[in-house]
């Protein structure tokens, strides 16, 4: 999908890394050529009127488990970093290469290479070869690498290759088969549970190893107050760590599991209300670097089971933008910060020339109406599965037009 003639997007409020400004964007050969005021259409240019809405970078969703193009396009996502937990796992260069080409031309899929063979946590995979095949990072998958020696070698290898390591932050030996966070709610419901400290223990070890190795480590989800404190402390020392979160963990607490609805069975599990509030503070003060969907759609065969036996995961791509814009309306963050979390920062971590509306970047652009109301209805979702914990909830914020490389999709 190649841009045939220059495009001018006019009459909108442009969200840039420096703030919001009125003006237009000119796109040539799939790349942003100019941003700001005084940009006029020339003979032969294609024009698009943004109608006074936001002109923002396309979203970059870091750490999804499945690719659903209709859901991603509905949510304004133009790039997605796919976790290696596939069948078979992304632990061979040929598999990585196939995935890297799978979404084109209207969605860029950036594969994350499996850190270990079969994601078993014991033997390092051929990471250098997978980087050559198109991997934009390396990930431990849904699990934690328990062997500290293996984790240190992984971080040293990744640092040498200048690849970000996307790590899962839960001590697996503590978590086991737990379905909930230990506490009053899990006790009342009789659910197998694990202490929230499993996250802090995993973070503390991996931060120490990151400091030793000099590697770039991104913790895909940090969800507890103690976890955010550890990230803050590490950043203050100059450790090259970042962290992310999904809307479920700043919107919902473990109270949402009280009716045993398996759409709230997530990994990590929902935390207590104090941790949820700590997450919102961490987003506001800059501790959190990325908000991602955690898109992990599950079919009825995985969700129509007793809570403790159900699969963990949620379909999150379609609701990512709207739920994050809720933080703007609640004055936790402003609009430029929201797009930094959704687009700019994840693009930087992946080394993708996108995620911000600046000249020279690829023209992945979303025209957004931040006030457009809509109703989350799982029966009408674009995803292949409908397991959203936000079913029947009213939200605001909708993509009105989406461009990939300057071409409307």
**139, 111, 141, 341: which is closest to 245 by C-alpha?**
341
Rounded average pLDDT over 316-339:
97
Q: Is residue 381 helix, strand or coil? A: coil
Res 44 pLDDT > 90: no
Tens-place pLDDT, residues 191-210: 999 999 999 999 999 999 99
**Average pLDDT over all residues of the chain:** 96
Tens-place pLDDT, residues 290-312: 999 999 999 889 999 999 999 99
**Number of compact structural domains in the chain:** 1
Q: Alpha-carbon Rg of the chain, whole angstroms?
A: 21
Residue 353 token pair: 């020339």
Q: Tell me the CA distances in angstroms from 279 to 216, 237, 330, one per residue in order.
A: 22, 21, 14
pLDDT at 245: 98
Is residue 277 situated within a structural domain? yes
Is residue 140 situated within a structural domain? yes
Is residue 341 situated within a structural domain? yes
Q: In this predicted model, which residue has the larger pLDDT, 43 or 222? A: 222
Is residue 54 situated within a structural domain? no
pLDDT at 39: 87
Least confident of 36-40, 110-114, 226-230, 326-330: 36-40
The band of 89, judged by pLDDT with boundaries at 50, 70 and 90, is very high
Is residue 32 situated within a structural domain? no
pLDDT > 70 fraction of the chain, expressed in percent and rounded? 99
Least confident of 17-21, 59-63, 241-245, 278-282: 17-21
Q: What would the 3-class secondary structure string for 15-80 be?
A: EECCEEEEEEEEEECCEEEEEECCCCCCCCCEEEECCCCEEEECEEEEEECCCCHHHHHHCCEEEE
Phi, psi dihedral angles at 362 (to 5 degrees): -65, 145
**148, 141, 134, 194: which is closest to 169 by C-alpha?**
141
pLDDT > 90 fraction of the chain, expressed in percent and rounded? 93
Contact 299, 252 (CB under 8 A): no
The C-alpha atoms of residue 141 and residue 139 are separated, in whole angstroms, by 5
pLDDT at 286: 97
Res 395 pLDDT > 80: yes
Is residue 282 situated within a structural domain? yes
Is residue 279 situated within a structural domain? yes
The C-alpha atoms of residue 205 and residue 192 are separated, in whole angstroms, by 25
Torsion, CA 245, CA 84, CA 239, CA 194, rounded to 10: 60
- pTM of the predicted model as reported, rounded to 2 decimal places: 0.96
Rounded average pLDDT over 243-257:
98
Q: In this predicted model, which residue has the larger pLDDT, 223 or 36? A: 223
- CATH number (domain holding residue 341): 3.20.20.140
Res 385 pLDDT > 80: no
The band of 2, judged by pLDDT with boundaries at 50, 70 and 90, is confident
Paired residues of 146 in beta bridges: none
The band of 383, judged by pLDDT with boundaries at 50, 70 and 90, is low
Domain span at residue 283 reads 59-354+390-397
Tens-place pLDDT, residues 115-152: 999 999 999 999 999 999 999 999 999 999 999 999 99
Q: Is residue 155 helix, strand or coil? A: helix
pLDDT at 42: 83
pLDDT at 264: 97
Rounded average pLDDT over 151-171:
98
pLDDT at 85: 97
Rounded average pLDDT over 361-370:
97
């Amino acid at each position: 999908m190649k841009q045939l003639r220059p495009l001018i997007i006019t009459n909108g409020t442009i969200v840039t890394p420096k703030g919001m400004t009125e003006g237009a964007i000119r796109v040539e050969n799939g790349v942003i050529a100019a941003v700001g005021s005084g940009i006029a259409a020339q003979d032969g240019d294609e024009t698009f009127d943004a109608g006074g809405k936001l002109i923002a970078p396309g979203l970059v969703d870091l750490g999804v488990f499945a690719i659903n193009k209709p859901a991603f396009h509905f949510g304004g996502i133009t790039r997605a970093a796919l976790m290696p937990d596939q069948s078979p796992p992304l632990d061979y260069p040929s598999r990585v290469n196939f995935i890297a080409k799978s979404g084109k031309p209207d969605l860029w899929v950036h594969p994350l290479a499996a850190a270990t063979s079969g994601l078993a946590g014991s033997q390092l995979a051929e990471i250098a070869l997978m980087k050559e095949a198109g991997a934009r990072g390396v990930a431990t998958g849904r699990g934690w690498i328990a062997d500290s020696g293996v984790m240190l070698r992984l971080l040293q290898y990744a640092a040498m290759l200048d690849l970000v390591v996307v790590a899962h932050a839960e001590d697996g030996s503590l978590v086991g088969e737990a379905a909930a966070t230990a506490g009053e709610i899990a006790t009342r419901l009789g659910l197998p549970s694990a202490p929230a400290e499993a996250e802090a223990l995993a973070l503390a070890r991996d931060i120490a190893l990151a400091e030793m190795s000099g590697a770039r480590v991104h913790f895909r989800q940090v969800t507890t107050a103690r976890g955010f404190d550890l990230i803050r402390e590490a950043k203050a020392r100059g450790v090259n760590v970042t962290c992310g979160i999904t809307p479920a963990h700043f919107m919902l607490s473990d109270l949402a599991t009280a009716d045993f609805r398996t759409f709230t069975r997530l990994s990590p599990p929902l935390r207590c209300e104090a941790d949820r509030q700590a997450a919102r503070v961490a987003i506001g003060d800059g501790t959190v670097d990325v908000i991602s969907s955690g898109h992990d759609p599950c079919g009825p065969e995985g969700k129509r089971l007793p809570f403790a036996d159900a699969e963990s995961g949620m379909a999150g791509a379609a609701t990512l933008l709207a739920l994050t814009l809720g933080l703007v309306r609640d004055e936790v963050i402003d609009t430029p910060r929201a797009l930094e979390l959704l687009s700019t920062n994840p693009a930087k971590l992946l080394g993708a020339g996108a995620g911000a509306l600046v000249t020279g970047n690829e023209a992945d652009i979303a025209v957004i109406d931040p006030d457009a109301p809509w109703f989350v209805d799982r029966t009408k979702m674009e995803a292949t599965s409908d397991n959203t914990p936000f079913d029947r909830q009213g939200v605001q914020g909708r993509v009105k037009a989406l461009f990939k490389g300057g071409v409307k999709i």
